[in-house]
Amino acid sequence: MKYNTREDNGYTVIELDGEVDLSCSPEARKQILDCLSDGRHLLVDLSAVVYIDSSGVASLVEGYQMAKKKDLKFGLVSVSEAAMSVLQLARLDKVFPIHASVEERLQEDD
């Protein structure tokens, strides 16, 4: 897994790339929780994720729960087909705020 972090209109956007599995989900978790610990609204871009396992999903769930506790905005954007199928299987597509793109999420704030 590779990742890139950028800022976009008051949000930190973490772009995950590749396989988010047990070997790299601790790094994804750290990036997500560090952003939220700093009090930043967060969007996780999953467009380049080709595989995500339960440990990767757990990192997203933990981030979502932390954001709610800190009253921060959190969402998933551009979710790949592979990632969406896992989220749907776990019924988390009904839990997470999911947006087609960062731009779509930002328009909701206007």
* The predicted structure's pLDDT at residue 108: 85
Dihedral of CA atoms 22, 62, 73, 80 in degrees, nearest 10, equals 30
Instruction: Give the model confidence (pLDDT) of 45-63 as tens digits.
Output: 999 999 999 999 999 999 9
Its pTM stands at 0.95
Tens of pLDDT, residues 12-49: 999 999 999 999 999 999 999 999 999 999 999 999 99
Level-2 CATH architecture, domain 2-103: 2-Layer Sandwich (3.30)
If pLDDT is split at 50, 70 and 90, which confidence band does 99 have?
very high
- Residue 75 above 80 pLDDT? yes
Nearest Cα residue to 46 out of 35, 32, 67 = 32
| Ranges of each domain in the chain | 2-103
